[in-house]
C-alpha cells in the first residue's frame, strides 16, 4: 500500500536542516503501523510527505501503486480527497456544525446524494458508537466523542489509507482507549491501512507494528503479536533505549 524509498528531507533556511535521511519503509495493505521517536526526530515530516502535504528533497513515495509526486495540482487534490483520510490531534472539526454535518463533509465535496449520505453516516456512526450524538454540535460533545467523530469523517469515503498525527494527544486515558479501539476496529473490519504518529505508548500498543525514528533515521521496529500488554512493555523499552528528552516519556499513562 505504501512504499517509501531512500526518502530524505532537507528544510532550507539560513542553516539547512536534514530532517529525514534515507528512509525506507513499506506498509502492507491492511496494516496498522505506529511511528514513534523523540521530539524533533522527523515523525510529522514523514507523515506530511505521505499525506502529500509536503514534498521530499529526494527519494520516492508510492501510495496504492501511484506516485503523488508526479501528479498535477488538481489531480493531487483529488487523490488526497479520495484515497486518504486524516485524523489530527486537535480534531479539526467545524465547531458550529453538528456531528453528522462534520462527518459528511468529504461526501458533500463529491456530490453524493442525501439518501446515500444518510445511509453511510448511519453505518459509520454505528461502528464508532456515536449514533446518539449525531444531531449535537461539536461544542456540545466531549473530546473523546469529538475524536470518534473525526475518525468517522476520516473513513466515511472508505479511503485506502488513514493517516493520524498524534490522535490521542488531547484525550484522557479512557478516551484514548476508546478512540484506539475504534481505530483498531476500522483497521480490522474494513482492512483500512493506517499510519499513526504518536508519543503515547498506550495508543501505539493498539497498532500491529511500531517503527521508531531517531534523528531522521529509522532506528528499530517491533511487532505486536498476540499480547498487547507485552507489546506495550516492549514499546516502553525501546523508548527508553531511544532516549530523547524526559517529556517524551512523560505522556506515559499506565
Ligand atoms: N518547516 C520547517 N522548516 C524548518 N525546519 C523544520 C520544519 N518543520 C520541521 N522542521 C525541523 O525538522 C525536524 C523534524 O521535525 P518534525 O516535526 O518532523 O519532528 P517530530 O518528530 O514530529 O517532532 P514532535 O514529536 O515534536 O512533533 C525538527 O528539528 C524541526 O525543527
Q: What is the pLDDT at residue 159?
A: 94
242 Cα–ligand 1 center, Å: 17
Checking if the pLDDT of 86 tops 80, the result is yes
Mean pLDDT of the 81-98 span:
93
Total length of the chain: 254
Instruction: Dump pLDDT digits (tens) for 127-148.
Output: 999 999 999 999 999 999 999 9
Q: Please tell me the distance between residue 234's alpha carbon and the centre of ligand 1 in angstroms.
A: 26
Q: How far is the CA of 138 from the centre of ligand 1 (A)?
A: 30
Show the ligand 1 pocket: residues with CB < 6 angstroms.
11, 13, 17, 19, 37, 39-45
Q: What is the pLDDT of residue 13?
A: 87
Distance from C-alpha of 210 to C-alpha of 28, rounded to nearest angstrom: 14
Minimum-distance ligand 1 atom for the alpha carbon of 48: 18
Residue 111 above 90 pLDDT? no
Q: What separation in Å is there between the alpha carbon of 42 and the centre of ligand 1?
A: 6
170 phi/psi in degrees, rounded to 5:
-110, 15
- String of DSSP letters for 90-148: T----TTSBHHHHHHHHHHHHT--HHHHHHHHHHHHHHHT-GGGTTSBGGGS-HHHHHH
- Does the pLDDT at position 58 exceed 70? yes
DSSP state of 199: S
The per-residue pLDDT for 116 is: 94
Computed over every residue of the chain, the mean pLDDT equals 93
Mutate to test the pocket of ligand 1, among 40, 198, 201, 214 (most ligand atoms within 8 A of CB): 40
Which residues does 27 contact at the CB level (< 8 Å), separation at least 6? Answer: 1, 2, 33, 193, 195
Distance from Cα 45 to the centre of ligand 1, integer Å:
6
The complex's ipTM? 0.95
Q: How confident is the model at residue 254 (pLDDT cuts 50, 70, 90)?
A: very low
What are 64's strand-pairing partners?
none
pLDDT in tens, 215-253: 999 999 999 999 999 999 999 999 999 875 545 555 554
Q: Are 60 and 69 in contact (CB under 8 A)?
A: yes
Whether the Cβ atoms of residue 180 and residue 201 lie closer than 8 Å to each other: no
Please report how the helices 114-128 and 143-155 are oriented relative to each other, as an axis angle in degrees rounded to 10: 130
Quote the CA–CA distance of 20 and 46 in Å, as a whole number: 8
Q: Which atom of ligand 1 is nearest to the CA of 248?
A: 25
Beta bridge mates, 25? 4
How far is residue 28 from each of residues 79, 143, 158, 166, measured CA to CA in Å? Answer: 19, 31, 17, 21
Q: Which three cell numbers stand for residue 15?
A: 542553516
35 membership: H or E segment, kind and range:
strand 32-36
Is the full-model pTM beyond 0.90?
yes
All three cell numbers of 21, joined, read: 535521511
Average pLDDT over residues 95-121: 93
Of 92, 93, 89, which is closest to residue 199 (Cα–Cα)?
Answer: 89
Whole-number Å distance, alpha carbon 216 to ligand 1 midpoint, is 10
CA 101, 198, 28, 235 torsion-angle sign:
negative
| In contact, 30 and 187? CB cutoff 8 Å | yes
Q: Measured from the CA of 197, which atom of ligand 1 is nearest?
A: 22
**Most trustworthy range by pLDDT among 24-33, 50-59, 86-95:** 24-33
Contacts of 222 (CB under 8 A, 6+ apart): 209, 210, 212, 231, 234, 235, 238
Domains of the chain by range and CATH?
A: 2-94+160-250 (3.40.50.300)
Rounded mean pLDDT, 81-93: 93
- Taking alpha carbons only, the member of 92, 57, 73 closest to residue 163 is 92
Minimum-distance ligand 1 atom for the alpha carbon of 42 = 18
Q: What is the pLDDT of residues 194-209, one digit of tens each?
A: 999 999 999 999 999 9
Q: With bands split at pLDDT 50, 70 and 90, how would you rate the model's confidence at 109?
A: confident
Average pLDDT of span 15-32: 96
Average pLDDT over residues 3-13: 95
Amino acid at each position: 500500500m505504501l512504499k517509501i524509498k531512500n526518502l530524505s528531507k532537507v528544510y532550507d533556511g539560513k542553516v539547512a536542516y536534514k530532517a529525514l535521511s534515507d528512509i525506507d519503509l513499506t506498509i502492507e495493505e491492511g496494516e496498522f503501523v505506529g511511528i514513534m521517536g523523540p521530539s524533533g526526530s522527523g515523525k510529522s515530516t514523514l507523515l506530511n510527505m505521505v499525506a502529500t502535504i509536503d514534498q521530499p528533497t529526494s527519494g520516492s513515495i508510492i501510495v496504492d501503486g501511484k506516485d503523488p509526486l508526479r501528479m498535477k495540482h488538481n489531480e493531487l487534490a483529488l487523490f488526497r480527497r479520495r484515497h486518504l483520510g486524516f485524523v489530527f490531534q486537535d480534531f479539526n472539526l467545524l465547531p458550529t456544525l453538528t456531528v453528522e454535518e462534520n462527518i459528511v463533509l468529504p461526501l458533500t465535496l463529491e456530490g453524493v446524494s442525501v439518501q446515500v449520505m444518510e445511509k453511510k453516516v448511519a453505518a459509520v456512526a454505528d461502528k464508532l458508537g456515536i449514533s446518539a450524538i449525531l444531531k449535537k454540535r461539536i461544542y456540545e460533545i466531549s473530546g473523546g466523542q469529538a475524536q470518534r467523530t473525526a475518525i468517522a469523517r476520516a473513513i466515511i469515503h472508505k479511503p485506502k489509507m488513514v493517516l493520524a498525527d498524534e490522535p490521542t494527544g488531547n484525550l484522557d486515558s479512557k478516551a484514548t482507549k476508546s478512540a484506539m479501539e475504534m481505530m483498531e476496529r476500522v483497521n480490522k473490519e474494513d482492512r483500512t491501512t493506517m499510519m499513526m504518529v504518536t508519543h503515547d505508548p498506550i495508543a501505539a500498543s493498539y497498532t500491529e507494528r511500531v517503527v521508531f525514528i531517531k534523528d531522521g533515521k529509522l532506528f528499530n521496529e517491533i511487532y505486536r503479536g498476540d499480547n498487547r500488554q507485552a507489546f506495550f512493555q516492549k514499546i516502553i523499552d525501546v523508548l527508553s533505549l531511544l532516549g530523547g528528552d524526559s517529556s517524551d516519556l512523560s505522556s506515559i499513562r499506565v
